[in-house]
Amino acid sequence: MTLSPATTPVPAAHIRIENLTFDYGGKRPAVDRLSFDIAKGEFIGLLGPSGCGKSTTLRMFAGLLAPTSGQISIGGQDIVSRPPWERNLGLVFQSYALFPHMTVAQNVAFGLRLRKVGKEETAARVAEALRAVRLDSFGQRRPSELSGGQQQRVAIARAIVIEPEILLLDEPLSNLDARLRDEMRFEIRDIQTRTGITTLFVTHDQQEALTMCDRIAVMNAGQLEQIGTPTEVYDHAATPFVANFIGRANAIEATLDRAAQTTGAPILRHHGQSLPQPRAQDLPPGSGTAVSVMLRPHVVRLSPPAGGLTARVLRRVFVGSIIEVELELLSGSRLVAELRPGGPEAALAEVGSEVGLDWRPEDMRIFAA
Ligand code: ADP
């Protein structure tokens, strides 16, 4: 596993996860030596495909599962040895899990009642939490009288009213329809920014993670692939998995001639054709010659064929703001380019025609195959 170079300084750890492991007794641990830090007030996304270990990680935070090994500490204090009710956590699930027979205000007050907070203070804190989620005038309603988005905001108010040390959000947008989901993304992020509560947000949706999080921890098969800002994981994917999982990526198999670096000869070749010259700092470590070149569709540039890397246009699809073009290299490998409608490149990309291909050196990520 490679970790990305830390291009953004990582703030001081408030929450520390160290070698966190959970084994259900399957072929491999569901969570496998997970380690990363979360700063106070950070909004961290835990992102990965179904089955990668997100819920298991969250359950260990919440105290519903005891780690097989490893640590979770908040402010230097271990929380793994504490029972769930002694961890100061706010939990929000995809099913809002509100009590139907209680009013909104009673739902929000629930955690304070458990903590034996006095009546007056409870009323003041419930009012403040409802204000934070913009439901000030809804306290006396029942959950059934609210929309899905409003119910989810009540669930958030109920979680933040106890002033938790960390807010755990488990796919909180999955039950909402598409339009509401987009609104709630900003809503949740806004509530978090205003309250400053450190948040761990579990999602399998890369768009949610990219638009909402300060940093994203990308998980695959129980392990951390990369943690970084949305820009870092998108533009500087540390592994092929991250490049493929976040956004679209083309992969071109190539051979790397390290000796050519000194002579200025082509360094990357794909079935006899030269690829654009890479920057020395982008070459993968190690001595292998088989590499995989990853390219985002929007970085591929088309030109009239001029003897360089050539492809044939197989398909062209207009998708509104862009034209998607499927290209076939002489080797038979395919890649996708995204072009601006009406531009000179779009004019070249007639189905069946031959085009020259090129991209900026800094736009390719090169991984050892
Ligand atoms: P995610 O939340 O990312 O979808 P999970 O944490 O639910 O992933 O699951 C991680 C892995 O652990 C998966 O391979 C899953 O099949 C396995 N797993 C989850 N829950 C159990 C369980 N109760 N018993 C056995 N295996 C489980």
Q: At which of 243, 278, 308 does a domain end?
A: 243
pLDDT of 301 over the 50 cut = yes
In terms of domains, do 255 and 238 share one?
no
In terms of domains, do 122 and 207 share one?
yes
User: Which atom of ligand 1 is nearest the CA belonging to 57?
Assistant: 6
In terms of domains, do 72 and 142 share one?
yes
Band of pLDDT at residue 9, cut at 50, 70 and 90: low
52 lines ligand 1 (CB under 6 A): yes
273 lines ligand 1 (CB under 6 A): no
- pTM listed for this prediction: 0.86
- CA–centroid distance, residue 16 to ligand 1 (Å): 23
Retrieve residue 230's tokens: 């949305």
Residue whose Cα lies nearest atom 10 of ligand 1: it is 53
In terms of domains, do 46 and 157 share one?
yes
User: Which atom of ligand 1 is nearest the CA belonging to 219?
Assistant: 3
Paired residues of 167 in beta bridges: 90, 199
- CA–centroid distance, residue 59 to ligand 1 (Å): 11
Residue whose Cα lies nearest atom 5 of ligand 1: it is 53
- CA–centroid distance, residue 141 to ligand 1 (Å): 37
Query: What's the whole-number mean pLDDT along residues 19-23?
Result: 98
Distance (Å, whole) CA 337 – CA 327: 8
- CA–centroid distance, residue 30 to ligand 1 (Å): 6
Instruction: Give me the number of domains the chain comprises.
Output: 2
In terms of domains, do 208 and 264 share one?
no
User: Residue 6 falls within a domain, yes or no?
Assistant: no
CB 55 within 8 A of CB 27: no
In terms of domains, do 268 and 128 share one?
no
For the chain, what's the residue count?
369
- CA–centroid distance, residue 98 to ligand 1 (Å): 25
Angle between helices 178-195 and 148-160 (to 10 degrees): 20
183 versus 357: which is more confidently predicted?
357
User: Which atom of ligand 1 is nearest the CA belonging to 202?
Assistant: 2
Closest CA to 39 of 23, 7, 15: 15
CATH code at position 304 = 2.40.50.140
26 lines ligand 1 (CB under 6 A): yes
In terms of domains, do 104 and 65 share one?
yes
pLDDT of 8 over the 60 cut = no
Residue whose Cα lies nearest atom 17 of ligand 1: it is 30
Band of pLDDT at residue 261, cut at 50, 70 and 90: confident
Strand ranges in the chain using DSSP code E only, listed in sequence order: 15-22, 31-38, 43-47, 69-74, 77-78, 89-92, 166-170, 199-203, 215-220, 223-228, 250-256, 268-270, 273-274, 290-295, 301-303, 310-318, 323-329, 334-339, 354-358, 364-368
User: Residue 2 falls within a domain, yes or no?
Assistant: no
Distance (Å, whole) CA 188 – CA 354: 48
- CA–centroid distance, residue 228 to ligand 1 (Å): 24
Residue whose Cα lies nearest atom 15 of ligand 1: it is 51
CB 196 within 8 A of CB 41: yes
Helix H or strand E segment including 112: helix 104-114
Name the residue range of residue 122's domain: 13-243
Q: Vertex 143, ends 137 and 149: CA angle to 5°?
A: 80
- CA–centroid distance, residue 27 to ligand 1 (Å): 12
The 10 Å Cβ neighbour count of residue 308 is 13
Q: What is the pLDDT of residues 26-78, one digit of tens each?
A: 999 999 999 999 999 999 999 999 999 999 999 999 999 999 999 999 999 99
Distance from the Cα of residue 321 to its chain's centroid: 24
**DSSP-derived 3-state class of residue 338:** strand
Burial class of residue 244 (count of CB atoms within 10 Å of its CB; 0-12, 13-18, 19+)? middle
- CA–centroid distance, residue 72 to ligand 1 (Å): 19
Residue whose Cα lies nearest atom 13 of ligand 1: it is 51
51 lines ligand 1 (CB under 6 A): yes
- CA–centroid distance, residue 206 to ligand 1 (Å): 20
In terms of domains, do 132 and 22 share one?
yes
In terms of domains, do 34 and 156 share one?
yes
54 lines ligand 1 (CB under 6 A): yes
User: Which atom of ligand 1 is nearest the CA belonging to 222?
Assistant: 10
Q: What is the dihedral of CA 296, 299, 305, 311, to 10 degrees?
A: 10
What's the pLDDT score for residue 13?
84
Distance (Å, whole) CA 108 – CA 125: 9
Query: What's the whole-number mean pLDDT along residues 254-265?
Result: 83
Band of pLDDT at residue 7, cut at 50, 70 and 90: low
CB 21 within 8 A of CB 33: yes
In terms of domains, do 146 and 237 share one?
yes
In terms of domains, do 39 and 170 share one?
yes
User: Which atom of ligand 1 is nearest the CA belonging to 48?
Assistant: 3
Q: What is the pLDDT of residues 77-122, one digit of tens each?
A: 999 999 988 899 999 988 878 999 999 999 999 999 988 999 999 9
